[in-house]
A and B are shown apart, each in its own frame.
Chain A
Amino acid sequence: AQSVTQLDSHVSVSEGTPVLLRCNYSSSYSPSLFWYVQHPNKGLQLLLKYTSAATLVKGINGFEAEFKKSETSFHLTKPSAHMSDAAEYFCVVRGTGFQKLVFGTGTRLLVSP
């Protein structure tokens, strides 16, 4: 079975400083990994995905993530935070084919001026 662990429930940064949201995964085979963002009272929007191609994945709004098999990690980063980045971020793993998504518990990103 697949699972993901998001290591921080809350992360606080100042506007203009780097963002790091940590995620570790567990999977018995090569996983597909995703980061989704949820703004308050909104749905789930895909930020980026890893599906066994390049290990460094670039997404929308300047976010990127690196798949590290040796560390079983898929951390999300952004060089410079904007106020609009304040939201809940979910690391998600999927098994083969069209199986269900398994969500992490989420990390709430707080951005202060």
Chain B
Amino acid sequence: EPEVTQTPSHQVTQMGQEVILRCVPISNHLYFYWYRQILGQKVEFLVSFYNNEISEKSEIFDDQFSVERPDGSNFTLKIRSTKLEDSAMYFCASTTPDRESEQYFGPGTRLTVT
């Protein structure tokens, strides 16, 4: 069964460094999302992406964040200058154009900012 994949599974970085989290959505999906889950808290929406542009973003998704679909298969989340509070599990999700379809989630990348 097709699945969403994410790399790396765990990323440790120093405060102020740039990180890029990578996702490969399911191949026929057209809508892409990033969510995050700070340890012990609920899952929060960051951004949605369709037709090579952001369709919606949350207040969390400030100028330090950006998303890109560079090559038609990968979907990336970049954090330009990481802060301690960016430490979280980041989930990528994708879905089809079928309005009844659910979002399929990847296994997540655990980002630790030291």
A residues apposed to B, CB below 8 Å: 34, 36, 42-46, 49, 51, 90, 96-106
Classify chain B's interface size. Answer: 20 to 34
Contacts of A105 in B (CB 8 A): 41-42
Q: Is the pair A51, B100 in contact by a Cβ cutoff of 8 Å? A: yes
A110 to B88 Cα, complex, angstroms:
24
Contacts of B42 in A (CB 8 A): 90, 103-106
A104 to B41 Cα, complex, angstroms:
10
Contacts of A42 in B (CB 8 A): 107
Whether, in the assembled complex, B65 has its beta carbon less than 8 Å from a beta carbon of chain A, the answer is no
Residue of B nearest to A97 (CB): B99
Q: Is the pair A49, B43 in contact by a Cβ cutoff of 8 Å? A: no
Contacts of A99 in B (CB 8 A): 48, 56
Nearest CB of B to A96, in Å: 8
Whether, in the assembled complex, B63 has its beta carbon less than 8 Å from a beta carbon of chain A, the answer is no
Q: A42-B107, A43-B91, A44-B91 are in contact. Are A98 and B43 (CB under 8 A)?
A: no
Residue of B nearest to A105 (CB): B42
Contacts of B107 in A (CB 8 A): 42-43
Residue of A nearest to B92 (CB): A43
Q: Is the pair A98, B106 in contact by a Cβ cutoff of 8 Å? A: no
Q: Is the pair B56, A101 in contact by a Cβ cutoff of 8 Å? A: no
Within 8 A of A (CB), among B3-58: 31, 33, 35, 41-45, 48, 50, 55-56, 58
4 shortest A-B CB distances, which residue pairs? A43-B107, A100-B45, A44-B105, A103-B43
A7 to B24 Cα, complex, angstroms:
35
Contacts of B50 in A (CB 8 A): 98
Query: Looking at the complex, which one of A44, A96, A100 makes contact with B48 (CB distance below 8 Å)?
Result: A100
